[in-house]
Amino acid sequence: MPNHASTLRQPLAPDTDALARELAGLIVQALNLELSAAEIDPEAPLYGEGLGLDSIDILEIALVVSKRYGVQLRADSAENEQIFHSLRRLAEYITAHRTT
């Protein structure tokens, strides 16, 4: 009998670059940023320099990610610095952990 659990843990994930572009659009929309999604460098830091987001912005993004992709992000997680390091890292994390 096939192991369906392993199949479910590895969904047909979209290309990380495509997901990063999709996330950029969600971030621009959720935070009402005055730039286009295409202007967000996937490698640039999301905090401080780079996109310049603060902790409130990150919480808003975490809520959107949770609703859209079923990925639970906790405000007190030690991993947040790595997860939100850049748009690409966030996309990689979502690809690995998404449920929808």
Q: Does residue 8 belong to any structural domain of this protein?
A: no
Q: Please report, for the domain that includes residue 48, its CATH number.
A: 1.10.1200.10
Q: How many domains does the chain have?
A: 1
Confidence of residue 47 (pLDDT cuts 50, 70, 90): confident
Q: Does residue 37 belong to any structural domain of this protein?
A: yes
Q: What is the pLDDT of residue 99?
A: 79
Q: What is the pTM of this model?
A: 0.79
Secondary structure string (H, E, C) spanning the chain? CCCHHHHHHCCCCCCHHHHHHHHHHHHHHHHCCCCCHHHCCCCCECECCCCCECHHHHHHHHHHHHHHHCCCCCCCCCCHHHHCCEHHHHHHHHHHHCCC
Q: Does residue 1 belong to any structural domain of this protein?
A: no
Q: Does residue 4 belong to any structural domain of this protein?
A: no
* Rounded CA separation 94/52 (Å): 21
Q: Does residue 28 belong to any structural domain of this protein?
A: yes
φ, ψ for residue 29 (rounded to 5)? -70, -50
Q: What is the pLDDT of residue 7?
A: 38
The domain of 48 spans 14-97
